[in-house]
């Protein structure tokens, strides 16, 4: 089954909605690919303009700076992941199965099998999150950005996760803290496995089954009734 994804983005993330023009979509599509190729530190709008066959001025009409573009891309992914969680849990009744499903969705590699988007690749967005995700909020502007509700998709996903934790064990007192911890660990462990394997117990594993097992063990040990 193919999902036709149209996600409504926070208008404060951009100056002009990139979804409304071919150039805007090209800027986003090429931007995510170029950040993944060069790294956020080496990425510039000048390089993106060259890669996209346009001018820096044209890119600045859509995004205030490269950090805003990064936040746009990360926000898109959190919105999309929450959609996948809602879709995957729709017919599930058992809270234990729901929690295991969420963990698998957090860890699994994405191959674009279910996504139909003409400007953002699910696989590229996931790779961006693993490498650059924390840079979206580890900034001195976090208070203002939070006031502008730029982190709402991430917080919404954590809230949904925490509700399932409380569904499993209504007496557990730290559902939000545990949900955000598991979310962060799911992606940091993938990064460590690929780049700092000595920080993990599965450096040579061909897949991510042990990451899933570890997170499940951590989660259910914490919320045991």
Task: Calculate the CA 170 to chain-centre distance.
Answer: 28
Residues of the chain with confidence (pLDDT) below 50: 1-2
The beta-strand segments (E) located in the chain are: 3-4, 115-116
pLDDT tens for 14-27 read 999 999 999 999 99
Domains delineated in the chain: 3-222 (1.10.357.10)
Is 175 within 8 Å of 162 (Cβ atoms)?
yes
pLDDT tens for 80-97 read 999 999 999 999 999 999
Give the residue among 131, 148, 101, 119 at the shortest CA–CA distance from 195.
131
Q: How far apart are CA 28 and CA 48, in angstroms?
A: 10
Q: Which phi-psi region, left, alpha or beta, contains residue 26 (left: φ > 0; alpha: ψ -120 to 50)?
A: alpha
Is 119 within 8 Å of 28 (Cβ atoms)?
yes
Is 95 within 8 Å of 160 (Cβ atoms)?
no
Q: Which two tokens stand for residue 161?
A: 């996760």
Predicted pLDDT of residue 117? 64
Q: How far apart are CA 142 and CA 54, in angstroms?
A: 31
Predicted pLDDT of residue 225? 77
**Distance of CA 106 to CAs 39, 112, 183, 216, Å?**
22, 15, 7, 12
Give the residue among 163, 166, 167 at the shortest CA–CA distance from 93.
167
Predicted pLDDT of residue 203? 87
Q: Which two tokens stand for residue 51?
A: 């890669």
Is 18 within 8 Å of 120 (Cβ atoms)?
no
Predicted pLDDT of residue 11? 96
β-pairing, 3-4 with 115-116? parallel
- pTM, two decimals, is 0.92
Residue 40's CB is within 10 A of a number of other CB atoms, namely 16
């Amino acid at each position: 089954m193919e999902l036709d994804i149209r996600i409504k983005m926070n208008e404060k993330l951009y100056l002009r909605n990139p979804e409304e023009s071919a150039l805007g979509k090209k800027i986003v599509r090429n931007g995510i690919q170029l950040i993944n190729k060069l790294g956020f530190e080496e990425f510039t709008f000048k390089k993106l303009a060259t890669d996209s066959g346009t001018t820096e001025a044209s890119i600045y009409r859509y995004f205030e700076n490269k950090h805003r573009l990064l936040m746009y891309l990360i926000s898109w992914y959190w919105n999309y992941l929450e959609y996948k969680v809602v879709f995957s849990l729709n017919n599930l009744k058992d809270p234990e199965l729901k929690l295991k499903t969420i963990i698998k969705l957090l860890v699994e590699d994405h191959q674009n099998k279910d996504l139909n988007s003409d400007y953002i690749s699910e696989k590229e967005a996931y790779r961006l999150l693993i490498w650059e995700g924390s840079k979206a909020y580890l900034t001195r502007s976090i208070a203002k950005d939070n006031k502008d509700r730029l982190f709402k998709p991430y917080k919404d996903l954590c809230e949904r996760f925490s509700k399932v934790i409380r569904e499993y064990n209504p007496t557990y007192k730290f559902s939000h803290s545990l949900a955000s911890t598991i979310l962060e660990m799911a992606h940091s462990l993938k990064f460590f496995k690929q780049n700092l394997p000595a920080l993990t117990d599965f450096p040579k594993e061909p897949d991510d089954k042990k990451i899933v097992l570890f997170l499940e063990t951590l989660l259910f040990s914490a919320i045991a009734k």
